[in-house]
Amino acid sequence: MKIETDDLIIRNFDMADENDLCEYMLQRVAAEFESYPNFTPEKAKEEIVLRSKSDEFFAIEFKKTHKVIGNIYLGKRNFNTRELGFVLNVDYQNKGYGSIASKAVFDFAFKKGIHRIYAECAPQNIPSWKVMERVGLKREAHFEKNVSFHNDDKGNPIYWDTYVYAAINPNENDVNGKMNPSLSDDL
Ligand SMILES: CC(C)(COP(=O)(O)OP(=O)(O)OC[C@H]1O[C@@H](n2cnc3c(N)ncnc32)[C@H](O)[C@@H]1OP(=O)(O)O)[C@@H](O)C(=O)NCCC(=O)NCCS
């Protein structure tokens, strides 16, 4: 996959992206949301091998400098559905790139015949659900205290709520139950 916007290229990962991947993943070690507490530079080596072969993780490259500033995840799920996820290097957050990259991928996936795209986040992760709303996903659910990523000082789980956002392919003809015949599992 390769998609271009004015400032960004969204493409498959390459082995040469290891340092850029390592930079933004290390920023996630102690992050409040989407944290990777066990991430290390050594893990970046393993991760770049996996991601460069993956058709679910896509690098977000900043065109001017060719730096990889984050990634989009489009995880394959049953029934021709994809789960959308996104992470940006902190130096590139709150500049509109998360919304631009997500919208580009979202449009591309629907053109390719993906049936449904959904995403989940904590209600406190405002930039995350704002991106979802900006790209056209609708809030479908609010699950109360259904996930736990951290424990309190006594070791008890701290539960968080989850928003679920989703959109159905607007190009899909499902009148009388007939689905678009060009639905594909590959992007
Ligand atoms: C979530 C993330 C990808 C959003 O991308 P982004 O490029 O920073 O977001 P945008 O600049 O496109 O802004 C989207 C909206 O969020 C708001 N926003 C962005 N960063 C914000 C911040 N730090 N505080 C408050 N609002 C913020 C923007 O103002 C905008 O709101 P608007 O639609 O009302 O104008 C990015 O913040 C990130 O990488 N976060 C850490 C990883 C993460 O939490 N991923 C999601 C897991 S579910």
In order of their start, the domains of the chain are 2-177 (3.40.630.30)
Residues 123, 163 contacting (CB under 8 angstroms): yes
Lining ligand 1 with CB less than 6 A are 33-34, 86-88, 93-99, 121, 125-128, 130-131, 134
Give the pLDDT confidence score for residue 32 in this predicted structure.
Answer: 84
Give the number of residues written for the chain: 187
Best residue among 5, 7, 130, 163 to mutate for probing ligand 1's pocket (most ligand atoms within 8 Å of CB) is 130
pLDDT per residue, tens digit, the chain (187 aa), is 899 999 999 999 999 999 999 999 999 998 888 889 899 999 999 999 999 999 999 999 999 999 999 999 999 999 999 999 999 999 999 999 999 999 999 999 999 999 999 999 999 999 999 999 999 999 999 999 999 988 899 999 999 999 999 999 998 865 455 555 455 556 6
Burial of 11 (0-12, 13-18, 19+ CB in 10 A): middle
The token pair at 100 is: 């631009």
Give the pLDDT confidence score for residue 172 in this predicted structure.
Answer: 84
Which residue has the least CA distance to atom 20 on ligand 1?
94
